[in-house]
């Protein structure tokens, strides 16, 4: 069973295979364009939107297909929490309501609205890594690059959105993924399992995304007794308080705040100083 679901290629094959889920079926009816070369006269705009890509990389899926993706990705994400591709799929197939709420919070905030309009991306191609390394110690940009270097991670490893059937919500998902490492920097958490679970608790309170809640609840199962004690007594209470106290993390144009100190940005967002952990 684990081998069968191990690769995301299997999940994509499930979507594209007519024998498994009938990719030419949308909302319970055969896609007329596939079989006649033109759209049905009775096809509704909703059916049209569900049938064709809405943005580069988008894979249209039916409710049945989304259910299959949810089950497969949830299984693999629980089996191996470091399978970021499976975690990403799970977030897209289960997060519709939470994403809509996040979008509304962005629309109702001046800085969040600007982000939705301009759609900045956090990637190596958009970052001046050399310039960020030259910033003074303690600045947000310098500490972010330090986090990337120390943990040997890259912003380019974030999966592109594929299964969200709304072009603007797809960007909200992408933005959330790309600010995840920025949250590690601001929260002062490493990328080991203890740090990831702490960040997931913060993000679960902040975003309400089922994927974050799942990671927060089941991530501790892989921790040893000592780390579990630190998590439950120090990190979870702090992460929950910070998540509840902080403004929406998607409403900050981080690319314009590299020269701001980490301490001042934490204070502005409402993130409480992280506890000192000795594990």
Please, which residues bridge with residue 145 across strands? none
Pick the more confident residue, 79 or 172. 172
CA distances 225 to 69, 196, 239, Å, are 33, 17, 20
Task: Give the pLDDT confidence score for residue 200 in this predicted structure.
Answer: 96
Token pair listed for 216? 């927060």
Q: Please, are residues 250 and 176 in contact by the beta-carbon 8 Å criterion?
A: yes
Length of the chain (residues)? 279
**Rg of the Cα atoms in the chain:** 20
- Reply yes or no on whether the pLDDT at 37 is more than 60: no
Pick the more confident residue, 87 or 125. 125
Confidence band of 21 (pLDDT split at 50, 70, 90): very low
Which residues 6+ apart lie within 8 Å of 126 measured at CB?
120, 255
Share of the chain above pLDDT 90, in %: 66
Please give the helix or strand (H or E) that residue 75 lies within, else none.
Answer: helix 63-79
CA dist., res. 118 & res. 130, Å (int): 24
Quickly count: other Cβ atoms within 10 Å of residue 34's Cβ. Answer: 13
Token pair listed for 106? 């962005």
Task: Give the pLDDT confidence score for residue 24 in this predicted structure.
Answer: 36
The answer to whether the predicted template modeling score (pTM) of the entire model surpasses 0.75 is: yes
* 26 secondary structure, DSSP code: E
Which residues 6+ apart lie within 8 Å of 184 measured at CB?
147, 151, 190, 191, 195, 199
Q: Read off the pLDDT of residues 56-79 as tens digits, 9 standing for 90 and up.
A: 999 999 999 999 998 988 888 777
User: Where does the chain show beta strands of DSSP type E?
Assistant: 25-26, 29-30
Token pair listed for 182? 């920025």
- Reply yes or no on whether the pLDDT at 2 is more than 50: no
């Amino acid at each position: 069973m684990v081998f069968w679901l191990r690769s995301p290629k299997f999940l994509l094959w499930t979507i594209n295979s007519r024998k498994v889920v009938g990719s030419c079926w949308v909302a319970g009816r055969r896609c007329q364009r596939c079989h006649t070369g033109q759209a049905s006269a009775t096809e509704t705009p909703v059916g049209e939107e569900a049938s064709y890509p809405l943005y580069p990389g988008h894979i249209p899926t039916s409710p049945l297909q989304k259910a299959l993706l949810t089950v497969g990705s949830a299984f693999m994400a629980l089996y191996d929490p470091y399978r970021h591709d499976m975690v990403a799929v799970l977030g897209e197939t289960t997060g519709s309501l939470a994403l809509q709420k996040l979008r509304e919070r962005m629309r109702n905030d001046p800085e969040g609205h600007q982000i939705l309009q301009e759609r900045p991306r956090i990637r190596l191609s958009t970052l001046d890594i050399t310039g960020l390394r030259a910033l003074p110690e303690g600045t947000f940009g310098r500490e972010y690059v330090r986090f990337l270097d120390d943990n040997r991670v890259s912003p380019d490893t974030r999966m592109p959105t594929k299964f969200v059937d709304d072009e603007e919500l797809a960007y909200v998902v992408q933005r959330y993924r790309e600010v995840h490492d920025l949250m590690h920097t601001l929260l002062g958490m490493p990328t080991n399992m203890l740090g990831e679970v702490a960040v997931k608790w913060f993000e679960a309170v902040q975003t309400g995304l089922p994927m974050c809640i799942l990671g927060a609840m089941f991530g501790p199962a892989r921790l040893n007794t000592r780390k579990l004690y630190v998590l439950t007594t120090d990190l979870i209470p702090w992460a929950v308080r910070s998540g509840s106290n902080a403004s929406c993390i998607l409403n900050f144009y981080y690319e314009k705040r590299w020269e701001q100190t980490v301490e001042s940005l934490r204070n502005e967002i409402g993130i409480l100083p992280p506890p000192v952990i000795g594990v």
